[in-house]
Amino acid sequence: MTTAYIGLGSNLSDPIEQVKDAIDEVKQLAQCQVTAISSLYLSKPMGPQDQNDYINAVIAIETSLSAIELLDVLQAIENSAGRVRKDNRWGARILDLDIILFGHEVINTERLTIPHYGMHEREFVLLPLAEIAPTLNLPNGETVKYLSQNIANNAMVKLS
């Protein structure tokens, strides 16, 4: 079994329910066991500001899936929620599920980059991750605690 951390985000179609429903779907996967769930956070969008704020969270799972198999399962959950992949990388979305970390693996393929390429600059990833795994060390030796203490929170609000 491998410990993986998944970032969840939504800013369309009742984002709180989208994130909660996605967590419930991951809980139903036979090959995965959810071991920790962060609070929900309200955050400003990274891209164009003419979109709704996001609801974000991070979950920890234990899984027997490979990283690519997990990516496929998460993308199927996004698709079932109605996610449409667009050219606009930073646009509004019904559901976004990102593998942040997968054990201590470093993966850099066309489909998957782990650790997630943007985690170091995203408060909506680091702060929920620090909530559920403050002593976690990244593959490069950095600690989640250190990174989370040295990032601006950009007016992010912890909801629950």
Q: What is the pLDDT of residues 101-118, one digit of tens each?
A: 999 999 999 999 999 888
Has residue 97 got a pLDDT over 90?
Answer: yes
Q: Tell me the catalytic residues.
A: 83, 93, 96, 98
Percent above pLDDT 90 for the chain: 60
**Residue 20, CA distances (Å) to 6, 14, 75, 112, 123 in order:** 13, 10, 16, 24, 20
Spatial distance between the Cα atoms of 86 and 50, rounded to a whole number of angstroms: 17
Q: How much is the pLDDT for 77?
A: 94
CATH number listed for the domain at residues 2-158: 3.30.70.560
**Largest Cα span, the chain:** 41
- DSSP label of 104: T
